[in-house]
Chains A and B, each alone.
Chain A
């Protein structure tokens, strides 16, 4: 990433469409997660319209499941806001990591692309960008695929949720985890990167055990980032 080239930031319709198609396979699994959410929301008594609106507006599964835990006849507002913010705080880091490429876009497009950023399309885009390929189409097109799958799944879950008996025994709960791990390992590897990952892993575990709930992703990511600054790559190495 030492020289950010402008053509990597291009965002033509063909890039968006290619990104949409590239994220379709993983979107099929996102439909399954969506079904699980729709079912859980129905069982919590959230109501059809509210469930669909939440999936469409929030589009962040873990925080939506966590919100269901707080749901009742009354919902505590401040804990809800803190929970949603903490779980989704990783989006802040995603935006920051995409910024060197996003800044080449006009402001409206820059923030438009970020509307649909999520783990899978961001991870795939970063891998492409770090390999010197255009990636913003993956964020936008892939994000539209994931968003559609998430909304479709939520709707299916409200109406036919009981059809999926046990996604966990089929290993379906591990799809996203395995996907993200494949993205990590597909990137640039070196002793420096390995040390950064070890520091990120160790500090996220410590945060998971000893710091407030949901802080581990931000803590681990920042710790890894700080080591990246302390131990910089030689400029002419790459």
Chain B
């Protein structure tokens, strides 16, 4: 099914996108309100919360250019040494810019 983008079609599509995204923002909370929070569920949630980010970042590192890879590596090293996010992020951006300038 196709929607014409002439006239009100665009508006309709944008509203549909908004509703789908809202469902993702609310759905997790809604489902969890039926799940009893016991120790097992807490362990699942805390393991999942780091895993979301790892799962976002891994393909970025593997499929990215050398600038992207060295950026993530620099951020990781500085973060583990200094334990402060801002210097770690700055190191990553500088690394990406340097690699890409060479």
Contact = CB atoms under 8 A, between A and B. Distances in A.
Interface string B9-28: 11101111110111111111
Interface in A78-108: 78, 80-81, 84-85, 88-100, 102-103
Residue among B3, B44, B52 having the largest count of chain A Cβ atoms under 10 Å: B52
Q: Is the interface of A mostly helix, strand, loop or mixed?
A: helix
B17 A63 contact: yes
Given A177-B71, A183-B85, A227-B47, A216 B55 contact: yes
Contact of A224 (B15, B25, B47): B47
Contacts of B31: 92, 96
19 contacts: A50-B14, A54-B18, A57-B18, A71-B5, A73-B4, A91-B28, A96-B28, A99-B33, A99-B45, A175-B89, A177-B71, A178-B72, A178-B88, A181-B53, A184-B50, A193-B47, A201-B55, A204-B55, A232-B40
Interface of A: 1-2, 4, 25, 46-47, 50, 53-54, 57-60, 63-64, 67, 71-78, 80-81, 84-85, 88-100, 102-103, 110-111, 114-115, 117, 119, 123, 126, 130, 168-175, 177-187, 193, 196-197, 199-201, 203-205, 208, 216-229, 232-233, 235
